[in-house]
Structure 1
């Protein structure tokens, strides 16, 4: 849950792909898993305002007609060689400044250096910092249907290759009621279905997170009575078991994005 604190700041959580922009001998772009994706975003190389000796951490995004981050649009751009949808890199941290590693400096000092590091352009932006009004800011984020916020300790250091507990994500979850219509045979996953406009059931995604051992035990106690078919990968059930899930949002094709099980509905 969001909270107000003089020791913390809040930032918008951008719905895109994490990206490291490194300018040593030349501009290079890397994912958080250290995959070189420089060739995928030539405009971020050719139009870069990032000076030599600088390494930035941030998010590359595609925006929709309303100016909101569009994750599906970002994936389409990332996965296609021909897609030329414009992207923007939004920097939220700095790793090197003028050739010096600054990861050991407190967050607010790094924010000062980030402000000095480059001039904003259409392709390169800096995330806006909100101080002291986190709960109010989160309400605005929810009203606009944005993904969420990140609350950060002002004194936190930059953690390389591991999650910092001084940074806390607060997701703007959407809740939905679905039917459990089957399960995956190998890796855990419950098939979720929803009622279509014609009254029939249609697939809505796979629930992989959320159920406790108690929930799984309850599910196993009733699933055999509901099974009617199976194939190589899935077992299918009559959609009589209802559940509530939380999801980041619905995709344009009507699928749940990263659904998390909350509870069964009686």
Structure 2
């Protein structure tokens, strides 16, 4: 079957995180803080997230994305919303959960979305995933006509450490190093792509919350070690009951860890289903250092949040 017609592509994933490095065998790109999507572009734009949810109706400003490419193609890209010129994950994630068309249009007018394309999987009438990355990049640069809706990810060769330091100075998320000869394996985690992050981020399960003074909310975090749910502490900065209440959750009458961890006697326990992103300073310890709640994600099941 033609991959363009069946529209079930799962993006290739990164399996490793390392410190920044220099190598002539890699290119280096900025790691953007958005939602990973695949767009099928022909006589219309069909954009889907990693769980194959149709995103175009939620981002109507991108419904003419197909007019910005020269021919039928499939693009792998990041979906972004910028605030003050910087990607804001919370804004793009908040929009992705909207259902009211009026509110969607208001959000689109206030903070219009755009995409940054970094790979192409299909060109004209054929799949090109088995071409080396640098050949795919040539197709990508040829097919995209850049404007305020779409841009092509820039890359540099050799100097990964320099790019990382520039990204760090701009308070961006990090960089991705990609082998020049890497092929595109759908849905597979690959060591050919390596992320180097300024801040460490973890996907955690929200297992409960504690209401604190000054209207603050502390979220109780967990991750799986094989099939066992492990307590991972709290995140308070950036978290709020208001944000939590924008999502469906189920209150339960017991700790999902099988015991009440110290300092959690006042917790309201939740069924461990909601996944959130926690950003923290890198540390070799098991706990998070200066954790910051970055948003709730609906594109990852809780069981995949591993230590």
The verdict on a shared fold, with TM-score over 0.5 as the criterion, is yes
Which whole-Å CA distance do the structure 1 matches of 2:263 and 2:83 have between them? 42
What secondary structure is seen at the aligned counterpart in 2 of 1:77?
A: helix
What secondary structure is seen at the aligned counterpart in 1 of 2:68?
A: coil
**CA deviation after TM superposition for structure 1 residue 247, in Å:** 7.2
Q: What residue in structure 2 maps to residue 57 of structure 1?
A: 76
Which of 20, 35, 42 is residue 2 of structure 1 equivalent to?
A: 20
Which of 214, 220, 244 is residue 206 of structure 1 equivalent to?
A: 220
**CA deviation after TM superposition for structure 1 residue 3, in Å:** 0.9
What secondary structure is seen at the aligned counterpart in 1 of 2:138?
A: helix
Which whole-Å CA distance do the structure 2 matches of 1:248 and 1:114 have between them? 37
Kindly indicate whether residue 150 of structure 2 is the aligned counterpart of residue 95 of structure 1: no
Assess, with a 3 A threshold, how the Cα gap between structure 1 residues 78 and 251 changes in structure 2: closer, same or farther: same
**CA deviation after TM superposition for structure 1 residue 52, in Å:** 3.5
In the alignment of these two chains, the number of paired residues is 231
Kindly indicate whether residue 60 of structure 2 is the aligned counterpart of residue 34 of structure 1: no
Kindly indicate whether residue 73 of structure 2 is the aligned counterpart of residue 73 of structure 1: no
Q: What residue in structure 2 maps to residue 141 of structure 1?
A: 167
Deviations 1:105-159 (Å, cap 9, x if unpaired)?
0001101111101211110101110211101111111111101111111110011
Which whole-Å CA distance do the structure 2 matches of 1:116 and 1:126 have between them? 10
Which whole-Å CA distance do the structure 1 matches of 2:76 and 2:20 have between them? 23
Q: What's the Cα RMSD here?
A: 3.8
Greater Cα radius of gyration, structure 1 or 2:
1
Q: What residue in structure 2 maps to residue 179 of structure 1?
A: none
Which whole-Å CA distance do the structure 1 matches of 2:286 and 2:208 have between them? 11
Report the more deviating stretch, 77-86 or 93-102.
77-86
Q: Unaligned 5+ residue runs, structure 1?
A: 176-186, 235-241, 253-259
**CA deviation after TM superposition for structure 1 residue 68, in Å:** 1.1
Kindly indicate whether residue 27 of structure 2 is the aligned counterpart of residue 13 of structure 1: no
